[in-house]
Amino acid sequence: MLSKDLKIESTSLIVMPKPKIWDTLPSFRVWPKKTFFGLDKNSAFCFTLHKDLTDSIIRHFGLREGKLQSEILFIICDKEYQATVRWARMDRRNPAKLAKEDLPERDVVQFGWKKYELTQHAMKDNLREAHNLISAGQNNNKQSVVFHHAGDEIFIIQFE
């Protein structure tokens, strides 16, 4: 008996699990352009991440020769949408304007959703003003997207 005042007769020890701590990638902002909406000549539906994020994204997703891409999920308005993170080496194999040696080889990471029509629609629906500006040949200075890594392969998307 612990206390006559509280009338507690017995207690059982409740063991709480330790809090899980995980590493997340930094959040980042993107200002959509033509390729984001597939309005470029390749209908790409992608964007290239800033070079400061390249190494950490490659390591987190285990990208390497033989595993150049990995599936990811975007959480948009509480719903899951598929996308891909992809590592590419820009080695200037087919230079159009400059000689191959004029630009160094570099690694880039892209997020893309070309093969995911539902993701394409979700992005366009939530970025209508940006899409309209870009479709009209203007620069998008109105809407941006913030990607928050929630762990594993999940990114929470915030439209601004």
User: Does residue 16 lie within any of the structural domains?
Assistant: no
Tell me whether residue 79 is in a domain: yes
Residue 144 lies in a domain: yes
- The model's pLDDT over 44-61, given as tens digits with 9 standing for 90+, comes to 999 999 999 999 999 999
Range of the domain at 112: 28-90+103-159
Does some domain include residue 121?
yes
What is the pLDDT of the chain when averaged over all its residues? 88
Residue 15 lies in a domain: no
Q: What is the pLDDT of residue 68?
A: 95
Asked if residue 3 belongs to a domain, the reply is no
**Matching residue, tokens 């200037």:** 92
Provide mean pLDDT across the span 93-99.
62
Q: Which two tokens stand for residue 73?
A: 């999920």
Confidence band, pLDDT 50/70/90 cuts, at residue 19: confident
Please give the pLDDT value at position 14: 76
Half-sphere exposure of 90 toward its Cβ, with a 13 Å CA cutoff?
13
Residue 98: inside a domain: no
Instruction: Find, among 149, 154, 83, 142, the residue nearest to 118 by Cα.
Output: 83
Residue written as tokens 């880039």?
A: 108
The pair of structure tokens assigned to 91 is 């080695």
Q: What is the mean pLDDT of residues 89-103?
A: 64
Tell me whether residue 67 is in a domain.
Answer: yes
Q: Report yes or no on whether pTM surpasses 0.85.
A: no
* CATH number for position 138: 2.40.330
Q: In whole angstroms, what is the distance from residue 146 CA to residue 121 CA?
A: 17
pLDDT class for 20, splitting at 50, 70, 90? confident
Q: Domain total for the chain?
A: 1
Residue type, 119: T
Contact assessment for residue 64 and residue 55, using Cβ atoms and an 8 Å cutoff? no
